[in-house]
Amino acid sequence: MAGLTTGIALRQAGYEVEIYEKTSKLRPAGAGISLWSNGIKILNKLGLGEKVAAIGGQMNRMEYRNQYGEILNDINLLPLVEQVGQRPYPVSRTDLQNMMLEAFGKEDVHLGMRCVSVEQNENSATAIFADGTTATGDVLIGADGIHSTVRNYLGGKKVEPCYADYVNWNGLVEANPDLAENDVWVIYVGDGKRASMMPVGDNRFYFFFGCPKPKGTKVAPKDIRGELAEIFAGWAQPVQNLIAQLDPEQVNRLEISDIDPLPHLVKGRIALVGDSGHATTPTLGQGGCQAMEDAEVLCRYLVTTNISVEDALKRYEAERKERVAKLVLKARQRTDTIYNKVPEETQQWYEQLKQEEPKDVTDAISKIILGGPFH
Ligand SMILES: Cc1cc2nc3c(=O)[nH]c(=O)nc-3n(C[C@H](O)[C@H](O)[C@H](O)COP(=O)(O)OP(=O)(O)OC[C@H]3O[C@@H](n4cnc5c(N)ncnc54)[C@H](O)[C@@H]3O)c2cc1C
């Protein structure tokens, strides 16, 4: 997401761009994603607004329910859209990736190229690949995700992701009224766990479950339905229907991690974008959106300042570092609240959900969105 968005933005600005990807076959890394309005605004700027709207679900409301299905809060999202000037779109990751690849040019992504190190001098930066080949340019952008190799070069040491102490299961399922209404993002919460569905294009729900777990638990795909049935036993009927209807072979089961905020996002002619610079737990739904914001801001400084590449990258870092650090820490705190790190705080949050005005929820989301490059 970070690499393709940055590639499209830079190319549209007139730069020659090459993308190198370690996998030899492109496949989506998960089922769905909610792109909040700040991410969509970047796609609009890149001329992809209509395309993303076509693959997006219509998410008009957000419902919090307890595990028995009783409503805790019912939030109309249309005032949020008015407030921020753009609808959010939950999308399938495959659809999103295909859209981005088409926009950049699939044939221009060099596959099977694992970057093993990087180097630079005063005129250029070079990526060195596992097969011994190299690629040199004016700027090198590390968009290589949470286990980034480029990040190790920037900091001079390996940065290990921090396990967030919970497992996420996610996938896609055909939408039907036994599960949820098709314009609602529904989130069931209870006992420090959650189960959720949101509409994406083509009459499907992106679903996810979350539950605290120690690191290292493994479950074979064929046993995932049983695992979920046990964890969510006694939860509301739509959650049971979801567990019955999902295809366990297609469920992603992930241990969730983030990284501590980094002291630097750039060094000389080398910059980090996306998860390589600020991998976050997904509890604010902002990781991918922040990758898109990175792309816009990085491109803007390269285009609008002309002292040097190094100077443009420093300006990029100055604009992004605090924003992404705050969001990573905020998401981490929210993760702890949702997943029972301190059980009393989780209980308090359930109480708060019942009492909170919908406007408080949409104001909080709007504040995050409007903190991005487009207000
Ligand atoms: C369960 C879950 C739910 C999420 N939900 C949301 C959401 O609702 N909204 C949202 O905005 N975000 C969400 N996110 C976050 C979002 O998925 C990430 O922030 C986003 O995918 C980051 O994109 P990226 O391009 O930086 O990294 P990645 O998607 O990890 O891409 C990195 C790429 O670099 C390649 N690569 C890695 N190492 C090398 C190397 N050495 N050489 C060459 N290539 C390499 C990888 O193969 C990969 O293709 C979620 C994340 C998770 C885990």
DSSP letters spanning 195-216: EEEEEETTTEEEEEEEEE--TT
CB atoms within 10 A of CB 339: 22
Report helix, strand or coil for 18: coil
Residue 20 CA: nearest ligand 1 atom is: 43
Stretches where the chain sits below pLDDT 70 are 28-29
Q: How far apart are CA 7 and CA 100, in angstroms?
A: 10
Backbone phi, then psi, for 369, in 5-degree steps?
Answer: -60, -45
List the beta bridge partners of residue 141.
271
- The pLDDT score that the predictor gives to residue 79 is 97
140 Cβ inside 6 Å of ligand 1: no
Pocket test for ligand 1, best of 26, 33, 200 (most atoms within 8 A of CB): 33
> Could you tell me the pTM of the whole model?
0.98
In the chain, where does the domain assigned CATH 3.30.9.30 lie? 162-257
How far, in Å, from the CA of 1 to the mean position of ligand 1?
Answer: 6
Backbone phi, then psi, for 283, in 5-degree steps?
Answer: -75, -10
- The pLDDT score that the predictor gives to residue 26 is 82
Report helix, strand or coil for 145: coil
Q: What DSSP state is assigned to residue 27? A: -
Chain center to CA of 72: 26
285 Cβ inside 6 Å of ligand 1: yes
Q: Which of 249, 250, 166, 163 shows the shortest CA–CA distance to 206? A: 250
For 249-260, write each residue's pLDDT tens digit: 999 999 999 999
- The pLDDT score that the predictor gives to residue 48 is 98
**From atom 41 of ligand 1, which residue's Cα is the shortest distance away?**
115
Q: How far apart are CA 163 and CA 362, in angstroms?
A: 29
4 Cβ inside 6 Å of ligand 1: no
CB atoms within 10 A of CB 197: 26
Q: How far apart are CA 111 and CA 200, in angstroms?
A: 29
Percent of the chain predicted with pLDDT > 70: 99
- The pLDDT score that the predictor gives to residue 27 is 77
Report helix, strand or coil for 175: coil
How far, in Å, from the CA of 236 to the mean position of ligand 1?
Answer: 32
CB atoms within 10 A of CB 177: 9
Both tokens of 157, joined, read: 């040491």
Q: What DSSP state is assigned to residue 123? A: S
Q: How far apart are CA 175 and CA 238, in angstroms?
A: 12
In the chain, where does the domain assigned CATH 3.50.50.60 lie? 116-156+259-341
**Side-chain-facing half-sphere of 93: CA atoms under 13 Å:** 16
Topology given in CATH for the domain delimited by 162-257 = D-Amino Acid Oxidase; Chain A, domain 2 (3.30.9)
Topology given in CATH for the domain delimited by 116-156+259-341 = FAD/NAD(P)-binding domain (3.50.50)
- The pLDDT score that the predictor gives to residue 30 is 73
